[in-house]
Structure 1
Amino acid sequence: MMYKLFPGLKQLVHYNKHNLTGDITSGMTVAVLLIPQSMAYAIIAGVPVSLGLFAATFPLIVYALVGGSKYLSVGPVSIVSLLAFSGITGIVQADSSRFIELMIILTLLVGAIQLVLGFVKVGSFFDYVSYSVINGFISAAAIIIALNQVKSIMGVSLPSYENLISYGREIMNHLPEANIYTVAIALGSIFLLLGIKKMSPAIPGAFIVIIASVMSVDYFDLNEKGVAIVGSIPQSLPTLSFHIPTLDLILVLFPIAFMISFISFVESYAVAKQLANKDNDRLDPNQELRGLGLANVTSSFVGSIPVAGAISRTAVNHQSGAKTNFSLLVTALFMLLAILYLTPLFYYLPKATLAAIIIIAVLKLINFKQLISYFKTKISDAMIFLTTFIATLMIDIFLGLIIGISLSIVITLMKREKQ
């Protein structure tokens, strides 16, 4: 019974020491990637970077014990962070004193919804969700995330994203106000990231760029010339807390929480299932829902943001030689050490560099190759992709997903009537 509830624990209890080298190597590799990503995605969510580090550590430990995947790197991800930010800013301003409180409650609701769905065993139904909707939505969301980083690259203030045309107009209007030092750091970071990636994908480019930019800002005192920096990061563990939401607040946040629960699970389960199939392992979608749900509840308890399984980090974990879920615990341990001992090193980290890391990371989520494939093989899927993509970019990030899902259901029902 214990192993049924905690399948990850079974892997650890019956651990084979021959897997140790691969698990430690891959765990450390993912940690080097996760440190800059967790800070960058915290910025997308509109919270202090320390909360991103917390979300990358404690939820991962819980998932390693409860989840079934040996490789799934649970923590902050770009799409979920954007959804959370968009949802909360629809209720209060990002600089409001209640923003972080609502973010923590939202994270709790996301976890609770996933736990309920997992226990009532509806996870199997996610196998029937059209990936043309998800691909169209994620492609549009990636563009929105990249555009939202332009203000950090330019060193200016911009209003919240509403649609592609109005935001593009705002960017053009604020171009003369751009800080030359900030732009130089951003462009230098982007070119360095691309150069390192072209030279060898195995080199931790983000970490190298962070070190180079921190040293540049510190040496040339660029923070005194208008370059925004991360500043002080608390060098301590989070305090556990539990926020009890009112019924009114639950009703307001529930649609946002359900959307995030859906997207985060589909993204996580898709990559976990793909790798499980390669190893001929069976992955229970309901157990994955419960594992992800408990990870989000944990993230709420430490006062942080919603989490999910990251496609890129999970792939790196697998490719780096991970054999069991012990690799996840190794990653969490190194994240813990970073929180306790490395945070002072990031004081002079320019926000423009984090923006560059975000842009490079999300560009690969724009899946136009899949759209071309749909046009060649299945026109209906191409229409669903395009509709979801355009509606998300031009109307609203939440409405875009709903429109895409609705169109997918209509097309499916029409096909069944013809049969």
Structure 2
Amino acid sequence: MDLRFLGGAREIGRSALLVDDSLLIDYGMEGGNPPRYPADVDPDAVVVSHGHLDHAGLLPALLAGDSRPPIHWTPPTRDLARLLAKDTLKLQGGRYDCPFTHAELARLGEVSETHGYRESFEAAGYEVTFYDAGHIPGSAHVLIDDGDTRLLYTGDFNTADQRLLSGTTARPDADVVVCEATYSDVTRPERATIEEQFARSVEQTLHEGGTVVVPAFAVGRTQEAMMVCEAYGIDCYVDGMGVAVTDRFKHTPGFLRDPEAFRRACGHARFLDKSTRDEQRKRIADQHAAIVTTAGMLAGGPAMTYIPAIAGNPQHKVAFTGHQVEGTPGHDLLKTGSAEIDGRHMRVAARVEGHDFSAHADRDGLLDFLDSYRDADVLVNHGDRCPAFAAELRDAGFDASAPENGTGIEL
């Protein structure tokens, strides 16, 4: 079995791994300014670990011309990938040449093949099995078996329970593990502690007559914030792409930890109606409520309306729910109290704080997961310190390395 990293090695974004020039695992894009893409490829088949932009965002581009490789994924990943592709076409239309068209997006339905967890299937001559990765609904570890070598591609995963999902417990036998390393140098408090700190902070601001804007990623984080708000009795509005994502999750309840708790959170939250949301946004900013809205790092979305509306009053608050990548408006606002919002530099008097609701395993979670693979070759990817983490693993007795993009590896 030969591997070639087309993207996502020693970086976060544009994940793509090719097996024997035949089977492609993930095909994402890094949504920067401008976006970055993995190397071109024409596979026989594709398997997709989960429906985030950096793993599934470029899939329609594989369907240009006469190419029609089957795409294998779970039902939630299929739904999310199509939703993200539509959003990409809309957002990139006026700024960059989008690498795919509406016609290629429509072809996703022609080549889609969905599978549940632990249901083995054939793809490009390999036996493939998905295991619940605990990251977002539908996320999967991908096990690939060619009869001689068992390759486990972890995708993004979480070992800790969230309200939306249980942490991964899957540890299938494997000879080689391609493991993400996003938070290999971060150790988090217990999830319950993070939730309580967030809830108490929001409650205090609302009690004092303020409004709380909660920037959140549309996929996973918005729904997690909704469920925390419901559990603590906090009134919340939901705006942005997270509204459509939430609706998709209603159709695949079997991929959620507690479908009834999710249903209650949906009933508790107030979703902005698409036809009247511009008028609603102006009213809501003055209603002393929690507003869960995209974008999670303030790089667009309805947050561009809400942040200016509360910026001038220290009674209000911005409560981030995840890591803010350096160079994003969210990072600038969290670190300096000012940022470029919707094209203009803005000083924000509202209080700004961060809460780490990440759906990735932290350092302890990564080590706990990898402890089951001490006899396997470990290839570290999807992180900004992959070589350092690989060295730490070697010091702990693992056979570990951190390939570069373009690297070919013979197993």
Which structure features the higher share of strand residues?
2
Normalised TM-score (structure 1): 0.24
Q: Which has the higher contact order (CA 8 A, sep 6+)?
A: 1
The structure whose residues are more often helix, as a share, is: 1
